[in-house]
């Protein structure tokens, strides 16, 4: 059973700019073109050392990784809206113990796959445009 999580782990939580958060959360005005524009803006701000003043993630490092995840999440909602007969969702598996993070993760690979399995086994007509934090439905923002 999927539950609504009260303290979700979202990629957008790393953004300090309210305008950026608002744009990425507004599914009615979000488009592939808008995501391309935001991606280009991020690259420009990154090159010019303007991430923090413009509200991009900087705390904790890895700003490009965090932005790419937020944009991928937003893109999944755009595609879900565009194709409502398909089940299109995204999942954050959690901090999984893998080679990529030098085995510093707190979840086993098996635990990290649970959310993806839940989504893969959704029945026809199941939820779409959702974001799972591990195995729980979470808010995008």
- Choose, from 62, 65, 95, 131, the residue flagged as catalytic: 65
* DSSP annotation string for 37-106: HHHHHHHHHHHTT-TTTTT---TTS-HHHHHHHHHHHHHHHHHHHH-TTS---EEE--SB--GGGTT--S
Residue 65 among the catalytic residues: yes
Note whether 96 and 108 are within 8 A (CB): yes
Catalytic (active-site) positions: 65
């Amino acid at each position: 059973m999927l539950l609504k999580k009260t303290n979700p782990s979202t990629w957008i939580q790393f953004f300090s700019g309210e305008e950026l958060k608002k744009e990425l959360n507004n599914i009615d005005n979000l488009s592939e073109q808008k995501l391309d524009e935001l991606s280009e803006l991020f690259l420009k701000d990154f090159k010019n050392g303007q991430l923090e003043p413009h509200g991009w993630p900087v705390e904790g490092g890895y700003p490009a990784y965090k932005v790419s995840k937020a944009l991928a999440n937003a893109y999944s909602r755009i595609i879900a809206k565009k194709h409502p007969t398909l089940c299109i969702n995204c999942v954050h598996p959690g901090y999984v113990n893998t080679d990529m993070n030098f085995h510093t993760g707190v979840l086993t690979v098996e635990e990290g796959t649970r959310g993806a399995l839940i989504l893969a086994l959704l029945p026809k007509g199941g939820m779409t445009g959702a974001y799972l934090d591990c195995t729980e439905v979470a808010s995008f923002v």
